[in-house]
Amino acid sequence: MFTNTQIDIETLPKVSDIALIPVEKSYIKIVLFNLCVIFISIIGTLFGLKFLKEDSKFDSIATTLIIGLIVVFIVQFVVLVLGFKNRKYALREKDIIYTKGLLNFSTTILPFNRVQHVEISRSFLARKLNLATLEIYTAGESGSDLKIGGLPEDVAESINEYLTTMLDDRV
Amino acid sequence: MTVYSFETPSRQSLKGVIIIFAINLFKTIKKSIAVIFVFAISYIRDFEIVNNHGLKVVLGFGIFLIILLVISILKYVTFKFRVDENYFFLNKGIINKEQITISKSKIQNVYIKQNFVQQLINVVALSIETAGDDKTEIEIHAMSKQKAKALKEVLLKHNSDEINIDPVAEDIYFKASIKQLILEGISENHFKSLAFILVLFTGVYRDFRGYIDSFEIETKFKHYFEFDEFDIATFIVFNISLVIIVLIIAFLFSLIKIIIINFNLKVVRTANGLEISKGLFNKISLHLKKKRIQSITLKTNRFKQFLGLYSLRFTQTMGSKKQKERLSIIGLNKLKSNELIRGFYRDVFKNSNKQHPEKYFMRVQTIRWSFIVLLINIPMFLVSRYTLFLNIPILLLILLHVRSSYKKAYFDLDDMYLIKGSGGAIETRTDFLELHKIQSVELTQSVFQRRRDIASVIIYTGSKGFTIPHITRMNAQRIIDYILFKVESQHKDWM
């Protein structure tokens, strides 16, 4: 029989009620390692140029740049460390939730019935630590996609499987 | 139904060779324009070279044209397409053979286009756009008009949805008159074209700096205005007239652009959507399917509102910039624009329950703008202390802008649609979207927002994200829970 009862918005399932699971602690090593690699390579290049070019004008510019970069690096480092505890995820029956960010905290919710495809990737370090990154794509802009790093390998694997079977069923 | 059969592989019209040749020639010239320019200038300067090498140049150019013609013929011969029940097939390529297969159900748009050359030899181009990325646009360069129309119909007809692109009523629903187009052009945001022109000029100048400098324009100008005596009045007159000339160019640029793109704009309503055609040198006609629309934007500004002009813009998944231009209708009045929106979103205007952002919105905007003003002030202060008086009108403008954007910002969420209003001192825009087109939602909260328990909601559709800024966190959470309930509880197709 067809029914069409009024919906009380207050009784709807709430995203805010969900107990979120933090990503693996060991993942912070990878995050920080990646940050260090980027900054060390940039600063290293600048140092190299400084030695090669014996130009006093360039020298002073490079020094200022290096100092600036180090400051940015430290700030980034602190933000990443403090913000790491905000990286949490949760699965519900019909969607997946991911939170992140320190200065700009965000919660993204992606309904399963909008998933286009799923990807798992493991970097060299992640393989050592038994971690995986799960990427869930929707149609449209990149902003609507979800990338969760630092999942235990088996969890990423099972979410991937769950979503893939659901995609197959949907046709 | 149609006299044309697309079941067997067919080539485009023989005239296609001309079109392919013209396109290739144009592309090559466009790529090598800098080189040609440089050569041309050196020839002009030194006629000796022309006398000695004139024949060689002509001969070289002739060989180049022949090679181009051979390539064009080969391209024409190898280009074959056919359509079956569910797919469109295309074979092309001279050395690297390519076979492209497109599922009919994935075809987002079929355009019938006609550029200047195609108008001359009376053929049309047909291009197929899929919901993938914008690189997958396929173009058949030359077909007769009837054949293109028949192919378009075949491509848009798909088993799962009975598409009927025959107009509901034969008559044209809307036709933009030249007067309307001129008014639209005049009331455009000319700063956009100004910015475009400035970018273009600086680019061209950088490319040809050497040559331009060699003409010694500067010294000629200096001589003309007798700058040696450094007359401050002349200096001011010179600069003001320069600014006025640039402004006039920008004004004419946007006016002409609007008229050329939208020349003879016609809209016909069909059972499943709209048939839009427009363009002067590049004629284009397309069928906009209701199902494929991700959102609709209604835009106007203070001047346009006064003139009764509104424009509609439709978005689809993965729209390119070109597509955005194509999927817009300008010169509408309020009644017609609302009627068109209602044609797609039937009950969108039924309930109105506008909610405004928190007052915090104004605070954020004010702080953001003040910061920019502060940055402008540093060079201004260095130039002259008197320029600081410029801050008074600037601050007044910002005040007006912030107040208007706060007043114009609202959202309206009911059980089928989301309406979002936004704008500034001059512009007003309203976005409409269906809830079942939403792909994902995000709640964001900056450190500053957290202190006041305020948050923003970003709603992603297949085409773009819509931000509902600065509402209470409670409200934001409720909106998200509600949207998720709507998206997850019904199995409506989002595309």
pLDDT at B222: 59
Least CB–CB distance from B446: residue in A104, A109, A114: A104
Please give the structure tokens belonging to residue B179.
């007067």
Is pLDDT above 80 for B479? yes
For residue B295, what is the enclosing H or E element? strand B295-301
Give chain B positions within 8 Å (CB) of A104. 444-447
Is A148 in contact with A134 (CB distance < 8 Å)? yes
In B90-144, which residue ranges form alpha helices assigned H by DSSP? Answer: 116-120
3-state secondary structure of B42: helix
Give the pLDDT confidence of B336-364 residue by residue, as tens digits.
999 999 989 988 888 788 999 999 999 99
Is pLDDT above 50 for B1? no
pLDDT at B493: 74
3-state secondary structure of B16: helix
Is B125 in contact with B137 (CB distance < 8 Å)? no
Cβ B487–A111 below 8 Å, yes or no? yes
Beta strands B273-278 and B98-103 are unpaired
Give the pLDDT confidence of B259-276 residue by residue, as tens digits.
999 998 999 888 778 889
Domains of chain B in start order, with CATH, are 183-262 (no CATH), 293-357+409-489 (2.30.29), 360-405 (no CATH)
Residue range B218-227: average pLDDT? 58
Is B90 in contact with B81 (CB distance < 8 Å)? yes
Please give the structure tokens belonging to residue A87.
């990286």
Give chain B positions within 8 Å (CB) of A139. 131, 317-318, 439, 462, 494-495
Share of chain B above pLDDT 70, in %: 87
CA atoms of A108 and B22, how far apart (whole Å): 50
Give the pLDDT confidence of B23-75 residue by residue, as tens digits.
888 888 888 877 777 777 776 666 666 666 677 778 888 998 999 999 999 98
Q: By C-alpha distance, which of B176, B177, B163, B385 is closest to B291?
A: B163
Is A110 in contact with A146 (CB distance < 8 Å)? yes
Residue range B194-208: average pLDDT? 79
Lowest model confidence (mean pLDDT) among A140-149, B401-410, B429-438, B464-473: A140-149
Is pLDDT above 60 for A141? yes
Q: Which residue did the predictor score with more confidence, B35 or B485? A: B485
Is pLDDT above 80 for B325? no
CA atoms of B88 and B7, how far apart (whole Å): 10
pLDDT at B312: 93
Arithmetic mean of pLDDT over chain A: 88
pLDDT at A134: 93
Cβ B458–A143 below 8 Å, yes or no? yes
Is pLDDT above 60 for B366? yes
Is pLDDT above 70 for B283? yes
Least CB–CB distance from A109: residue in B441, B450, B464: B441
Q: By C-alpha distance, which of B369, B377, B429, B376 is closest to B402?
A: B369
Is pLDDT above 80 for B250? yes
| Residue of chain B whose Cα is closest to the Cα of A10 | B478
Q: Which residue did the predictor score with more confidence, A25 or A166? A: A25
Interface of chain A toward chain B, CB-CB under 8 angstroms: 7, 9, 12-16, 94-95, 101, 103-114, 138-141, 143-144, 146
In B32-96, which residue ranges form alpha helices assigned H by DSSP? Answer: 33-45, 47-78
Give chain A positions within 8 Å (CB) of B294. 140
Q: Measured between CA atoms, how close is A155 to chain B, in angstroms?
A: 22
Instruction: Give B240's pLDDT tier (boundaries 50, 70, 90).
Output: confident
CA atoms of B293 and B463, how far apart (whole Å): 9
- Cα-flanking dihedrals φ and ψ of residue A2, to 5°? -85, 125
CA atoms of B212 and B205, how far apart (whole Å): 8
Lowest model confidence (mean pLDDT) among B12-26, B209-223, B257-271: B209-223
In A88-171, which residue ranges form alpha helices assigned H by DSSP? Answer: 124-128, 153-170
CB atoms within 10 A of CB A55: 12
CA atoms of A89 and A15, how far apart (whole Å): 11
Q: What is the ipTM of this complex?
A: 0.88
* Overall residue count recorded for chain B in this entry: 495
Give the pLDDT confidence of B398-432 residue by residue, as tens digits.
999 999 999 999 999 988 899 999 998 889 999 99
